[in-house]
Structure 1
Amino acid sequence: MFTLLSRRSLKCFQLTALNNRTFTESFSKSRGNVYAVENLTQRGLLKVQGVDVHNFLQGLITNDIRHLESMNSIYTLFLNVKGRVMCDTIIYKTREENVLLIECDSSYIHLLQKHLKLYRVRRKIDIDVADDKLKVWVFYRPIDELDFSQGKVSYAKDIVSPETLGLYSHRDDVIICRDPRVAALGYRVVAPVDEIVRDTFAKELGGGSLYDGFLNYRVHRYVLGIGEGICDLPPGVSFPLEANSDYLHGVSFHKGCYIGQELTARTHHTGVVRKRLMPVFFRSKPEIEIPSDAPIQLLDSSKKSVGKLRAVEGKVGLGLLRVTEAIAAKNITVMGIIGETCKPQWWPQEAPKDRLAVSREA
């Protein structure tokens, strides 16, 4: 493996202190220059190698594996024959010829390995779990504030890149690359299990000044309206375009056939994706446990359901909402808890522009 440093700029975010304590630590020289580094223990890695590894994966993933000729990593999904998501992944290229790393939910990694072996047939391809040798970290600038009154998320104006820090420039066993989905997700770092990436970043960033809070990457993703893992994308339930994979550069509509392609391509070409993942914001952390798939309803006399809640972390949740109705709505509620949501700002311009406003009550 080798060091990969993206030359793309990272549009950054900041986040006010959260009450929930996580493994994430942030480092800064000032209150306005905050970074977070977190070991993503819920993500695992498969090492796939062989002379035909690229052609093999090309017929199984939604993205085009040939993008790795010019990119360090790609975001992609594995689908079942019915066109539903099995798992979301990030595929990394390495310095070794015909050797790739596949990152996915750690609880699904053995099922993905089994899936790959099923379609390997007689190809000379090795598929091994690499969790005992490698682990995944994330380096990002958290979100600063949510302007609930106007339904806007504040973007930090400054730009950061690991290149300016010279991190791991001397190492061939560490991969650093910009998240291939959205710049605000920061950088992925794949390192040996005994490497404490957090300490390295703390030293390089001047770590004498620690941020007075603990930041959570899952909250960061939910504020952006981005799902990841089997909790947010239940296997065999989710459709790729409902998970915004087309907006996240995770689907190619120009490559050849792959498992689950027919339904995905037909949905795309009809131009109708009625439901998509969107963030759901609560005024305070819910005091009751909200189950997965809890209905999201309009806060009016009709109490009409406009979607389902996938998960909650602190005061932020992720919901699968009917886009047209959600944007037209003024209020929503989840099990009596009132919150608000907005169209993610990273969605393309052709996406609906009207904000879904949700009133909050004390």
Structure 2
Amino acid sequence: MSAGYAVLDQRSVVAVSGEDRKAFLQGLVSNDMLRVTPDHAAYALFLTPQGKFLHDFSIVESDSGEDAVLLLDPETDRRADLLRRLKMYKLRSKIALEDRADRLCVAVAFGNGALEALGLPAEPGAARPFAGGVAFTDPRLPALGARLFLPADGVAALESAGLARRDVADYDRLRLSLGVPDGTLDLIPEKSIPLESRMDALNAISWDKGCYMGQELTARTKYRALIKKKLFPVTFEGAAPEAGTPVTLDGKDAGEVRSTRDGAALALLRLEDVQRAAENGLTFHAGPVALIPHEPDWDHTSKG
């Protein structure tokens, strides 16, 4: 696929400013805020105290010095919920929380040569200023391309950089083919477990940063090997099954379809069923549609 870009209306920007901004988020989100700088972005989760998914977002620092601000990109229709939850923990922290949806948009650049066009290396989270905003290699997986937080007039600079305007569906097909989940399209608030969604392999979790919301149960899940299900990229032929369609194996419940587009989807499947299907030549079904699960080649936690 040639290099292109799309504006993600389903994501918006919120800002955390003030001298305590990093310390404040450090105790709440799953990744290490000390690694977030104007040169390095991160991907993180906001979890319940029980370690269940609430929000996911990229985080980058927009500047340095006294004017430094941390920018996050929660889902557009859930950003008010994130801001509300953050305000609950503000207490005496010297921070300010601001919705910047009217000032900044979220864009993605993807396809062959997209990172090079923006002057970014294929290093997760590598960041640089761009067109009055910031561009960074996707901190989850460089194969997804770059993410950008831009003022409205900065989007034109993407075409000046040689990137063609594309539909969000093109980006979604890439995401699904790689097996990367996207917020509530694939995770259920207050129910989904980060490691079931391969968030550890997508650089969302720091295992040595210390305490944060949901940290104890997330660590216990990892070190006691409690994961029984995982999200898998699946391919199929024919009409796409709807999100939420039950998946069966040999006539028995085996999981559920999550987001889907054209001939690709993500499905949450029981690991023992995936192994049994591979060993016995069995086929998963979502209704009448046959599904073939694939192990993402980027998930090294699943290998050996």
Which category describes the TM-score, using the shorter chain as reference length?
0.7 to 0.9
Deviations 1:129-153 (A, max 9, x none): 00000001000117xxxxxxxxxxx
> Can you list the C-alpha shifts for 1:82-110, whole angstroms capped at 9, x where unaligned?
11010111111111434100111111100
CA RMSD of aligned residues (A): 2.5
- Report deviation, 1:221: 1.0
Q: Which residue in the other structure is 1:270 paired with?
A: 224
Aligned residue runs from structure 1 range 216-235, under 5 A: 216-235=170-189
Q: TM-score if structure 1 supplies the norm length?
A: 0.74
> Is the 8 Å Cα contact of residues 278 and 320 (structure 1) preserved in structure 2?
yes
Report the Cα distance in structure 2 between the residues aligned to 1:66 and 1:323, rounded to whole angstroms.
Answer: 35
- Alignment match of 1:63 (pick from 10, 20, 31): 31
**Aligned mate of 1:344, from 276, 283, 296:** 296
The number of residue pairs the alignment matches comes to: 291
Q: Any unmatched runs of 5+ in structure 1? A: 1-13, 15-33, 143-157, 354-362
Supply the distance in 1 between the matched residues of 2:286 and 2:246 (Cα, whole angstroms): 6
Q: SS state of the match for residue 194, structure 1?
A: helix
C-alpha distance after superposition, 1:43-73 (max 9, x if no partner): 0111110111111000000111111158521
SS at match of 1:310: strand
The within-5 A match list for 1:112-191 is 112-141=82-111, 160-164=115-119, 173-191=132-150
Q: Which residue of structure 2 lines up, in the alignment, with residue 279 of structure 1?
A: 233
**Cα distance in structure 1, aligned partners of 2:39 and 2:239:** 39
Secondary structure in 2 matching 1:216: helix
Helix, strand or coil for the counterpart of 1:139? strand
Deviation at 1:193, TM superposition (A): 2.2
8 Å contact from structure 1 (residues 45, 134) kept in 2: yes
Letter in 1 for 2:201: Y
Query: Closer, same or farther in 2 for the Cα pair 1:94/1:164, shift >3 Å?
Result: closer
TM-score, normalisation: structure 2: 0.88
Displacement of 1:323 in angstroms is 2.3
Task: Pick the structure with more helix per residue.
Answer: 2
Could you say which residue in structure 2 is the equivalent of 1:110?
80
Secondary structure of the equivalent of 2:211? coil
Is residue 84–residue 260 contact of structure 1 (8 Å, CA) maintained in 2? yes
Counterpart residue type for residue 202 of structure 1: E
Distance 1:315 1:49, change over 3 A: same
- Cα distance in 2 between the residues matched to 1:181 and 1:228: 11
Q: Which has the larger radius of gyration?
A: 1
Q: Tell me which amino acid in the other structure corresponds to 2:266.
A: L
Partners of 2:145 and 2:152 lie apart in 1 by 21
CA contact (8 A) 1:49 1:99 kept: yes
Structure 2 spans left out of the alignment, 5+ residues: 121-127
Amino acid at match of 2:294: C
